[in-house]
A and B are shown apart, each in its own frame.
Chain A
Amino acid sequence: MNRRFQVLKSFVRKEILQILRDKRMRIVLFVAPLMQLVIFGVAISTETRNVNLALFAKPHDVLTRDLYQRALQTHWFIPARISGADPFAWIQSSEADAVIVGPTDGLGRSLSSGKGTIQLLINAQNSIRAQAIESYLKVIANSVYHDADGGRNWGGVQFSVRALFNPTMETSMYMVPGVMSMLMCLITILLTSMSVAREKEMGTIETLTAAPIDSWDLMLGKTIPFIILGAVQAVLILVFAVVAFGLPIRGPIGFLFFASLLMITATVAIGLLISTISKSQQQAMLGGFIYLFPSYLLSGLMFPIENMPIYIQPIAYINPLTHYIGLLRNILLVGGDSHYFYTHILVLFVIAIVISFFAFRRFRSMIL
């Protein structure tokens, strides 16, 4: 037993040394993810902003002008720089994202005649953005008429919105856990699968199988280094996110680490599984992508799962990333609910065990 442990230890050590020997690899593994986190965390925003808004209305149309001015006062809209006099051309040339078109005889007059209509022209290439622009302007329009009325006859329903857990609706708070799990997945899966594929490609796998160690040791020796690297990376990214972005850790940190460990085990096992079916590093990498792509897209990382067609949803729920991202967001931002933690950790645990089982079986039959 002791000897076995020694063998395993030296195996793990060799593997880690081999990866970290290359200075560029060290940078790629430990510095690049932090840069990525900063860039994606800060740059990516889901809130529609900086909409180039233009106005097409008669000079005396005070109400429509008021609407336009109010829209510009919010942080959503900026005035469009336009040339020419055709509102369609403004949008066609991307000078404006949206144009408010007032009625031909002015809004005030057409209102008193009983049918005032303001037209909005919106570039709907991006359908979500287009919807958000419409909704913003509707809210602003309501306030214009409300005030134009002197507020006297207004007796309607107003909505006041409170954003919980992330009050300023900062996208970085939402994206950082996502990007974190994405980077972890990417690096562990691809490194593991390519490392084993490399042995196959170089022919050194035969040497390894001929060595006096059993398949267990070989498999552990090929996976433990990547679990360690993944764990170090997870801690590094998390600490960095807390320091640089002020990411809160509202829930129990123990759960967080346990969940991360389960997740890394699952991804390393997936990497191993991929390496068993590929013959070269190129194949391993492509195999990794075939797995990673759907796993990112169907994880709720960027696109909510409830939105997917009902027959796709089961795929999303057997995806370990779904549960991990859910847990990360819940533990970090919401601080939440032990029932939620236990359920998702249990699911993650089962997934990790099942994948590891299959990976081990395939790996053993591959080297025997």
Chain B
Amino acid sequence: MKRAVAIAKKEFAHILRDRFTLSMALILPLMVVFIFGVAIEFNQANIPTAFLDQDRSQSSRQLIESFSSSNYFIASSIYDIGRIIRTLESESAKAAIVIPPQFEKNLLSGRGSEVQILVNAADNQSAGSVLSYIGDMQVRVNKKLVGTSASRFPAIESRFLFNPELNSKWFTVPGLMVIIMTMIALLLTALTIAKEWEFGSMELLLSTPVKPLEIIVGKIAPYAVLCFVAIVLTYLCARILFGVPFRGNHLTYLFGCFLFLTTYLAQGLMISVITRKQMLAMQISMLTGLLPSQLLSGFIFPIENMPTIFQWLTMILPARWFMEISRDSFLQGASFWQMRTPFLALLVQMILFVAVAIRKFKKDLEL
């Protein structure tokens, strides 16, 4: 144990001396939090939209006005039906709305009228936003133009639980915990230990009376500490800068952090033992760790939207389970019992990864 501490001390000194790595390891999380907290807004507003008004009546103008006053859309006019496609192709508008001739007449006579909306679906994100606003717009437009009486059309009243203002930062910032831990725990560990192999100093270390396990613990411990510092920083940012509530139990959450961290440290160790080269270790931890934890963990793209087979596949990702724990702890205030599935899954994965990593490491030594 003493020897493990000594190695940890030495590794600490390494990190502290290497100002670059240290500041990067701390700047990176802050930068990611900043970008997600400040720059990225999911609720799309101001979608540039071109209107072709073939009716030019009071009703059609009212329709355009209800769109442009909704602050989802920014209206511009086009006058020639042939220009619609060109406008969308050159991406000066994301959507085009075509009001047919006789629009007002048909409305007044009670026949109803159909308005065509063309969206540029090459940009799914914007197209999706347009689609999700249409339900709302339809209600608004009808109220304004037809004045449907309240008795025939019941209002739909939505209550948004856990995030009443639909603040997208509340959604992303708790998820950032996962991303940041992946970056530090997995990548830095994989690289540091791969470096020892690459320079041949691992053999040197192993020939000393220090036991292999002590070497590993000593090497990894400082990164675990670094990771916890980053977690605390992110947590403070989330709470103070972005006002994200934390409704769960801190101790439970900390336990989740610990499980997740250990899993990824073990995975990092495994990668370094297998690759023994920094460049390769980095590429593999990118491919198996960072990209899936960003794209398949439900961080931005909900798992529920995936095809069923991929929903099953995400279950082997520790990041997916920790994402659930993180979000439920922050926003939903779930208890340990309510989160038993993700905790159990994470625990199983942790044991598995640690066991495999240590076995692999020991087996490698015998050769």
Give the interface of A toward B (CB within 8 A). Answer: 22, 24-25, 28-29, 32, 36, 39-40, 42-51, 88, 91-94, 97, 107, 110-112, 114-132, 134-139, 141-142, 145, 149, 153-167, 169, 171, 173-175, 186-187, 190-191, 194-195, 198, 278-283, 285-287, 289-290, 293-294, 297-298, 302-304, 306-309, 312, 326, 329-330, 333-337, 339-340
Q: Is the CB of B305 within 8 A of A47?
A: yes
Most buried by A among B45, B48, B89, B154: B154
* B241 sits at the interface (CB 8 A): no
Chain B contacts for A293, CB-based, 8 A? 28, 31-32, 35
Q: B interface, by DSSP: helix, strand, loop or mixed?
A: helix
**Interchain Cβ contacts within 8 Å, total number:** 375
B-chain residues with CB within 8 Å of residue A167 when the two chains form the complex: 121
- A343 closest partner in B (C-beta): B90
Contact across chains for A281 and B279 when beta carbons are under 8 A apart: yes
Give the chain B neighbours of A46 by CB distance below 8 A.
124-125, 128, 301, 305
* Interface pair B48/A119, CB less than 8 Å apart: no
B121 contacts A166, CB within 8 Å? yes
Given known pairs A28-B287, A293-B35, the reply for A124 and B120 (CB within 8 Å) is no
Give A145's nearest chain B residue, CB to CB: B153
The one of B36, B113, B191, B305 in contact with A158, judged by C-beta atoms closer than 8 angstroms, is B113
B150 at the interface (CB under 8 A from A): yes
Closest chain B residue to A137, Cβ basis: B156
Within 8 Å by CB of B156, from A32, A138, A307, lies A138
Tell whether B250 is near chain A: CB-to-CB under 8 Å. no
CA–CA, A258 and B20, complex, Å? 36
- B42, A127: Cβ atoms under 8 Å? yes
Interface footprint category on B: 35 or more
For A187, list chain B residues within 8 Å (CB): 283
Q: Do A118 and B118 touch (CB < 8 A)?
A: no
Alpha-carbon distance between A37 and B184 when the two chains are bound, in angstroms: 25
Residues of A within 8 Å of B89, CB to CB, are: 330, 334-337, 340
Asked if B310 and A48 make an inter-chain contact with CB atoms under 8 angstroms apart, the answer reads no
A-B contact list, 25 entries, CB within 8 Å: A32-B287, A39-B310, A44-B296, A47-B124, A47-B305, A50-B304, A117-B155, A117-B157, A118-B157, A124-B161, A126-B171, A126-B302, A145-B152, A156-B138, A157-B145, A158-B112, A158-B115, A161-B130, A169-B128, A190-B283, A195-B279, A281-B195, A289-B183, A307-B42, A334-B120
Collect the chain A residues with CB atoms within 8 Å of residue B275's CB: 24
Q: Are A329 and B123 in contact (CB under 8 A)?
A: yes
Residues of B within 8 A of A287 (CB): 24
Are A339 and B122 interface neighbours, CB within 8 A?
no
Q: Give the complex CA separation of A304 and B47 in angstroms.
A: 10
Pick the residue among A45, A121, A162 that contacts B119 (CB under 8 A).
A162
B75 at the binding interface (Cβ < 8 Å): no
